[in-house]
């Protein structure tokens, strides 16, 4: 039995169809100069599911997530986040919608000399317009909320330690707590486990799956390990050369198809 099955059965595709759509990407394309890196890419993320992006280096996985979180803008196509169609929304509505999708990166970017709690509070502060840097003191209510977020990732007992004293896997869980402090509906994780050892990678993936199953968050994670997708995702999106190759329930896809992405 896979770890994901223990945490909650991986949903068949028709179950996902009945859930709320948190992210709807329709036919987006993106070029850098004359280089097309994403063509007609479409995908959805539903509440309560983990979607894994797989594909060789340069296949467009991160570009898709960046078009969602606003680090880049797609050249064409449509993105709807939490019911807000970005192309038709005001700049303020677009920013609000994008804040419902918190991003976690491979490079963890905690302020190492600050405490774990202060780093998590920064996620709550990021909800405020005009936020730039971590202030020395956070309001008590925000500290309490940050403690709850740390508890959700199993690190409340490390709240007052310096972030730099934690292991890589623990720091990634703190980064996820910081993302939770933004009160997202969805977590976009761009290679969240690529820098971690196998045990820490499992811990982080198990946490993301638990947040989906128990808290109804949507999770979209770029992964380089097909076996982690198989263990922890409900759906797998395969990309090759900026094009969607498949979008399947993990129950319907075999190792040959997964492996073919890397040929
Ligand atoms: N800002 C940019 N300017 C120019 N080219 C870019 C830019 N961002 C990405 N690219 C190119 O777009 C292509 C797709 O990149 P992307 O990061 O989406 O791939 P990926 O599937 O996430 O790959 P990897 O697994 O290596 O991270 C790559 O060839 C990359 O070099």
What are the tens digits of pLDDT across the range 143-165? 999 999 999 999 999 999 999 99
Closest C-alpha residue for ligand 1 atom 9 = 63
The Cβ-side half-sphere exposure at 250, using a 13 Å CA radius, reads 23
CB 246 within 8 A of CB 257: yes
Q: Is 55 in the pocket of ligand 1 (CB under 6 A)?
A: yes
Q: Is 238 in the pocket of ligand 1 (CB under 6 A)?
A: no
Atom of ligand 1 nearest to the CA of 38: 14
Give the burial class of 6: count Cβ atoms within 10 A of its Cβ; 0-12 exposed, 13-18 middle, 19 or more buried.
exposed
pLDDT one-digit tens code per residue, 62-117: 999 999 999 999 999 999 999 999 999 999 999 999 999 999 998 888 999 999 99
Model pLDDT, residue 66: 95
Q: Say what percent of the chain tops pLDDT 70.
A: 90
Residue, of 13 and 80, whose pLDDT is higher: 80
Q: What are phi and psi of 237, to 5 degrees?
A: -110, 120
Atom of ligand 1 nearest to the CA of 224: 25
Tell me, in angstroms, the distance from the centre of ligand 1 to residue 181's CA. Answer: 29
Q: Which of 87, 169, 95 is nearest to 126 (CA)?
A: 95
What is the 3-class SS of 110-170, one letter each residue? CCCCCEHHHHHHHHHHCCCCCCCCCCCCCCHHHHHHHHHHHHHCCCHHHCCCEHHHCCHHH
Q: What is the pTM of this model?
A: 0.91
pLDDT one-digit tens code per residue, 222-249: 999 999 999 999 999 999 999 999 999 9
Euclidean distance between CA atoms 204 and 245, whole angstroms: 27
Q: Which residues pair with 101 in a beta bridge?
A: 186
Q: Is 58 in the pocket of ligand 1 (CB under 6 A)?
A: yes
């Amino acid at each position: 039995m896979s770890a994901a099955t223990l945490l909650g059965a991986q949903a068949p595709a028709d179950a996902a169809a009945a859930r709320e759509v948190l992210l709807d990407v329709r036919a987006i394309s993106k070029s850098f100069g004359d280089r097309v890196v994403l063509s007609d890419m479409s995908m959805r993320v539903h509440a309560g599911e983990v979607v894994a992006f797989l594909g060789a280096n340069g296949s467009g996985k991160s570009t898709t997530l960046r078009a969602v979180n606003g680090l880049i803008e797609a050249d064409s196509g449509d993105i709807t986040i939490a019911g807000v169609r970005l192309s038709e929304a005001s700049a303020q509505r677009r920013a609000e919608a994008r804040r419902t999708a918190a991003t976690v990166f491979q490079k963890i970017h905690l302020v190492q000399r600050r405490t774990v709690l202060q780093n998590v509070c920064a996620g709550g502060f990021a909800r405020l317009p005009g936020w730039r840097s971590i202030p020395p003191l956070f309001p008590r209510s925000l500290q309490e909320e940050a403690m709850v977020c740390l508890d959700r990732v199993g690190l409340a007992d490390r709240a007052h330690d310096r972030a730099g004293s934690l292991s890589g896997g623990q720091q990634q869980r703190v980064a996820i707590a910081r993302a939770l402090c933004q009160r997202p509906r969805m977590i976009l994780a761009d290679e969240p486990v690529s820098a971690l050892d196998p045990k820490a990678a499992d811990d982080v993936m198990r946490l993301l799956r638990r947040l989906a199953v128990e808290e109804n968050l949507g999770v979209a994670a770029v992964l380089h390990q097909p076996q982690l997708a198989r263990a922890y995702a409900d759906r797998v999106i395969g990309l090759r050369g900026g094009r969607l190759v498949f979008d399947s329930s993990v129950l319907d896809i075999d190792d040959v198809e997964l492996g073919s992405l890397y040929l």
